[in-house]
Chains A and B, each alone.
Chain A
Amino acid sequence: MAGHSPELREALFELLLRLGDDCLILGHRVSEWCGHAPMLEEDLALPNMGLDLIGQARSLYTYAGEVEGNGRTEDDLAYLRNDRQYRNLLLVERPNGDFAHTMLRQLYFAAFMEPYWRATCGSKDETLAGIAGKAVKEMAYHIRHAGQWVIRMGDGTQGSARRMKDAVEELGHYVDEMFGTDAVTDALAAAGIAPDPAALRPDWDRTIEMVFSEANLKQPQIAYPQRGGRDGLHGEDLGHLLAELQYMQRTYPGLNW
């Protein structure tokens, strides 16, 4: 962080919020399966993946608070912002749907974040590189786990294949947003702090193609991809999620364990 110009610090803060929000919101979504998964092993696996993501969110928010320099903590950032102030991708706030939707969403996100963190390991920002070094290994694991389920369901029974095809149709609308660029990503890519998301598309396509070829699935053509999450424009589902996530802090402000 030391040595970054004020403009760069502002961009870095914005990026840390985006990444932190992606991890927190998806981590929360995944944790909603706890006690409801179709089998005991998945009841353990899903909260484990949620824990990885929430752990990453904590590191990112803590660092965001330091970069911002206004004394905000990880808890302030997670619990005391409104939906319009959240910067997460629309993909990660999508409701869990059935197990096929959940696993495909996990695969899509992990297949993006694994190369993202891998590139960030070489960041000129040492703290971000450190967070990336841990997260990249966890994301590789998520790709593997979710990928195996997508294959098992896509290449499974008529019923499971139908569910997986439905998930591919629905979530296809939220893929392009991951690779979106703007002034924030451009500034950080130019400074060698974070990768250009658009450049990661071939990596993502390769992973998805590898899984889809075994799962008898095809990527759909999407005419009008959905965007807006990075600018705080979310679907109504995020509001419901935040109502649950933030309930304690909203009801008892300043509550401590």
Chain B
Amino acid sequence: MEKFTTLTGIAAPMPLVNIDTDMIIPKQFLKTIARTGLGKNLFDEMRYTLDGAEIPGFVLNQPAYRKSQILVAGDNFGCGSSREHAPWALLDFGIRCVISTSFADIFFNNCFKNGILPVVLPQAAIDHLMDDARKGENARLTVDLESQTVTASDGTTFAFEVDAFKKHCLMNGLDDIGLTMEKASAIDTYEAKAATLRPWA
């Protein structure tokens, strides 16, 4: 998993509340267990017409936001199904950070396991960052996980809370397998010992 330390990038404004996982990645794309390749179908139904043409009004289709790495979104982002494809699709598009007033629980946790930082800030901060994001590619936000801050293009800084263990994992690029592999030598020692003590097992 890719580490997350600091990120300075274009933020796309998505002021909708309750952006659900069906919007993020519709079900017809769930027939894969590969984590890559889903980015082109991120927000598929909002982004493309039925015959596959881009809908120009959708934020990620606009020239300024095609390389967005941050989303600033309305309340309750990621509600709906537990599909892990939702963070996979965001990541594959290039989104490394989503900022909202609140997140659905499963989506929130899935982000940390895929190298995405979900940032929870109060409504006033979201309003400020949303206005900033509307300025397009000239307005870059900086997200610093170490210092737990988001800095707007005008220099205004907002501090956010993050669980210490989740922060550790994200800053070191550790998903659950990565965490386990950190103990690889202890596991090998145990396995070798177990093989001697219980050769029948």
Do A and B make up one complex?
no
Binding site for B on A (CB under 8 A): none
Binding site for A on B (CB under 8 A): none
